[in-house]
Amino acid sequence: MARKEFAHFEAVSAVVPVELGGNKGYYAAIAVKALVDGGAPRFHKLLDEQVFAGAIAADDAATRELERLQGVSDDAELIW
C-alpha cells in the first residue's frame, strides 16, 4: 500500500474485489479520504478493463497510478 498526501486529502493505493462469471479477481483502485474529519474513504477504480488475479498485482498497479496522480479536487475527484 502506497500513500500520497495532498492539501486536504490523502490518497492510498487500494484494491477492490470483483467476481465476474464465477471468477474472482481484483481491480486496482485509489482510496481518497479527507485529512480532517476523514470519514469513510471514497474508492476510485482504475484500469476498469483490467482485472488482476491477485491482490498484490492489483495493488502494484494502483501504486504505479498513484505515482502519476497530481492532486485531489475539493469534491474528492482524482486530478491527473
What is the tens place of the pLDDT at every residue in 10-67? Answer: 999 999 999 988 889 999 999 999 999 878 999 999 998 899 999 999 999 999 999 9
Number of structural domains in the chain: 1
CA-based R_g, the chain, Å: 13
Reported pTM: 0.90
Looking at residue 17, its amino acid is: P
Task: Judge contact between 14 and 33, C-beta under 8 A.
Answer: no
What range defines the domain where residue 11 resides? 3-79
Looking at residue 57, its amino acid is: A
| Residue 39, pLDDT score | 84
Q: Which residue has the higher pLDDT, 3 or 39?
A: 3
Residue 79's CB is within 10 A of a number of other CB atoms, namely 9
